[in-house]
Amino acid sequence: MEFQGVTFVGSTVDDRETFDRLPPELQQFLEQANGLVAYYGGLHIRGACVEPTWNSLRVVWNGPDAFHVRYDAVDEADVPFAQDGVGDQWLLRNGKVVRLLAETGDLEETGLSFGEFLTAVEQTPIDTLGLQPLMQFQSDGGRLEPGQLLNVYPPFCTAEAAAGVSLGAVPVVERLAFLADLAAQLPADGQFRVRFVD
């Protein structure tokens, strides 16, 4: 695979317990690059590693803040192998890639295998990864460092976002916590009010 804008490549696998539980195609990828950030932060494929924690598959798959703990739609067996620049997640479920829309907790089936997903990323990264917010951020002079995601305000799932959003770089852990909290608080009818507190 030839990914553009690579800003981070993880070191060798040092979390064998996690690595041994992964599907063979993901193991093969991680043997070459034990996690990487590509497209200047638009794609982060996690590694089987202890450090840095923002790159650790174990943290988001089996830790106390794992995605299956935070989101009802995510199963414990789903492998949260990657995320895009705004914190939407790519999960492996029964050999197919599923997208978790992290603001709402909804899942989207892609019908793609891991290898097909990587090919789609390589061939059409803007559409596959939804790179438009990151491109807007970059055009305004912004840059995502490894371990950061884009914070989007107001959230894309709100009607107000149609008038435009502000974008900023925040630590991965902060963005993921915000998204999980937002998804957990969304009512069934999709309508909610935001109150600002000083």
Listing DSSP states for the chain in one string gives ---SS--EE--S---HHHHHTS-HHHHHHHHH-SSEEEGGGTEEE-BS-SSSGGGBHHHHHHSTT-HHHH-TT--TT-EEEEEETTS-EEEEETTEEEEEETTTTEEEE----HHHHHHHHHH-HHHHHT-HHHHHHHHTT--PPTTEEEEEES-TTSGGGGG--EEEEEEHHHHHHHHHHHHHH--TTS--------
* CA atoms of 162 and 6, how far apart (whole Å): 31
* CA atoms of 32 and 170, how far apart (whole Å): 28
Look at residue 196 in the predicted model and tell me its pLDDT: 47
Look at residue 107 in the predicted model and tell me its pLDDT: 97
Look at residue 32 in the predicted model and tell me its pLDDT: 95
Question: Span 14-35, mean pLDDT?
Answer: 97
Give the global pTM. 0.92
Question: Span 146-174, mean pLDDT?
Answer: 94
The ranges assigned to domains in the chain are 8-185
Q: Is the pLDDT of residue 189 over 80?
A: no
**pLDDT tens-digit series, residues 155-165:** 999 889 889 89
Look at residue 186 in the predicted model and tell me its pLDDT: 81
Question: Span 166-181, mean pLDDT?
Answer: 96
Look at residue 192 in the predicted model and tell me its pLDDT: 52
**pLDDT tens-digit series, residues 121-143:** 999 999 999 999 999 999 999 99
**pLDDT tens-digit series, residues 111-123:** 999 999 999 999 9
53, 51, 37, 6: which is closest to 176 by C-alpha? 53
